[in-house]
Amino acid sequence: MMIAKKPIKCLAILAIVFSSLNVFAGGGEKQSSDNDGGKVNTKEEIQDYIKHHLADSHDFALFSYTNDAGERKHFGFPLPVIVWTSKGLKTFMSSKFHHNDDGHVVVDAGGVKLAKIHSKIYELNEGAEHVAFDETHHATNAHKVLDFSITKSVFGMLLAGLLMFLGFRSLAKGYKKGAIPTGIGRVLEPLVLYVRDEIARPNIGEKKYKKFMPYLLTVFFFIWILNLMGLTPLGFNVTGQIAVTVCLALFTLVIYITNGSKDFWAHTLWMPGVPVILRPILAFLELVGFILIKPFSLLVRLFANITAGHSVVMGIAALMLLLKSQFGTVGATGISFLLTLFLSVIEVLVAFLQAFIFTMLSALFIGMAVEEHEHDHAH
């Protein structure tokens, strides 16, 4: 345990430094269009930048800047676009959309005209060459397609999965040799034991916890690694995507529903010890709680905390733009950097805490479902 503390501290320090760099890497996605030399950065522009940072993307942008000619330059790499259209499956690289600011470039993908509008891909109606909008800026001559693209969040999940595979492969090799784990295994081993002894055993029970350890370990390290990756200049916000947290919550739901014991279903659907007239009502409430409320609490807690954390850090970083006129560039940057660094320390804790809470609640719900009750038949 003592050996593993140094690598953990190093990871925490790196995450803090990277998160601070992450705030300043992009500089700002949009610049003021006012005729004052670009001095003003409005509240709306800052809000747009924060929304852009939190949203998913079809390309991987490391940072952006505006050159002396006023042109917006993006550094990154494209990702595969995979969509199902009215003429079947179409694939191409996201660089075909040219990374322009409005995202309205029309791409001809094998006879189908596609456009990216507000990070969503639309198929233009037959015969249309350009996107038409109504007064609320909604497309009137295009419709959404089924999007299976490798987006930035999907790329992040694949990267997290690869890191988990390499890390646990190293740990497994050490166990097979009967030697003390080395390298990344020293970091993983105490966390594996922590999930087993502090989460799985107390909540599921000594007899059945081993069956669910693979899932609990997977979800814990998956969320934790993704949260840490979100603090780096890579700018991932995977666990801040509602679709991701919904899928994780559904996995937990399917596991504890399909593994529910006979006693669990008996007590849920026909609760003993209460008047018969109330049992259908209580059964309905219990089902709503297990099928809707518990998964909803899982997905919302993770999504809301991660999204709020990123929003606050980005908002604090934006203070350098708003305070520049009062404290100067150096003063505003110093104040913003110190506040961002302080919040980033908290974010490192939150990254672990949210993984722990999701895993703990998943184990608790599973334990409630698989628990066997001892009945006093005489009573």
Q: Examine the domain organization and report whether 128 and 270 are in the same domain.
A: no
* Helix and strand element counts for the chain (H, E): 12, 9
Residue 133 per-residue DSSP state? B
Residue 261 in domain: yes
The answer to whether residue 306 scores a pLDDT higher than 50 is yes
From the list 49, 30, 50, the residue with the least C-alpha distance to 40 is 30
pTM of the model: 0.78
In the three-class reduction of DSSP (H, G, I as helix; E, B as strand; rest coil), residue 297 is classed as helix
Q: Which helix (H) or strand (E) holds 3?
A: helix 2-25
**Banded pLDDT at 377 (limits 50, 70, 90):** very low
Contact 195, 216 (CB under 8 A): yes
Q: Which of 149, 167, 199 is the last residue of a domain?
A: 149
In the three-class reduction of DSSP (H, G, I as helix; E, B as strand; rest coil), residue 117 is classed as strand
Token pair of 154, please?
A: 């999907």
**Number of independent structural domains in the chain:** 2
pLDDT single digits (tens) 70-122: 666 767 788 899 999 888 899 888 888 875 545 567 888 888 888 888 778 88
pLDDT single digits (tens) 238-273: 888 888 999 999 999 999 999 988 888 888 788 777
Token pair of 157, please?
A: 């999940």
Given this model, what pLDDT does residue 108 score?
83
Q: Examine the domain organization and report whether 134 and 250 are in the same domain.
A: no
Given this model, what pLDDT does residue 99 score?
55
Residue 62 in domain: no
The Cα–Cα gap between 86 and 276 comes to: 54
Q: DSSP letter string over 202-250?
A: HHH-TTTHHHHHHHHHHHHHHHHHHHHHTTSTT---STTSHHHHHHHHH
The Cα–Cα gap between 231 and 227 comes to: 7
From the list 152, 317, 158, the residue with the least C-alpha distance to 240 is 152
Residue 29 in domain: no
Q: Examine the domain organization and report whether 219 and 322 are in the same domain.
A: yes
The Cα–Cα gap between 344 and 17 comes to: 8
Q: Examine the domain organization and report whether 286 and 327 are in the same domain.
A: yes
151 Cβ contact list (under 8 Å, min separation 6):
56, 57, 58, 79
Phi, psi of 80 (to 5 degrees): -65, 135
Residue 51 in domain: no
Residue 98 in domain: yes
Contact 318, 202 (CB under 8 A): no
The Cα–Cα gap between 211 and 204 comes to: 10
Mean pLDDT (whole number) for 194-202: 94
Find the range with the poorest average confidence among 14-23, 185-194, 202-211. 14-23
Q: Examine the domain organization and report whether 164 and 186 are in the same domain.
A: yes
Q: Which helix (H) or strand (E) holds 78?
A: strand 72-78
Range of the domain at 184: 153-370
Token pair of 340, please?
A: 């961002």
The C-alpha angle 181, 187, 190, rounded to 5 degrees, equals: 85
Residue 208 in domain: yes
Q: Examine the domain organization and report whether 343 and 358 are in the same domain.
A: yes
The Cα–Cα gap between 134 and 230 comes to: 36
Residue with token string 């990277």: 18
Of residues 359 and 103, the one with the higher pLDDT is 359
Of residues 107 and 332, the one with the higher pLDDT is 107
**Banded pLDDT at 42 (limits 50, 70, 90):** low
Residue 23 in domain: no
Residue 57 in domain: no
Question: Which residues are paired to 65 by β-bridges?
Answer: 73
The Cα–Cα gap between 161 and 23 comes to: 25
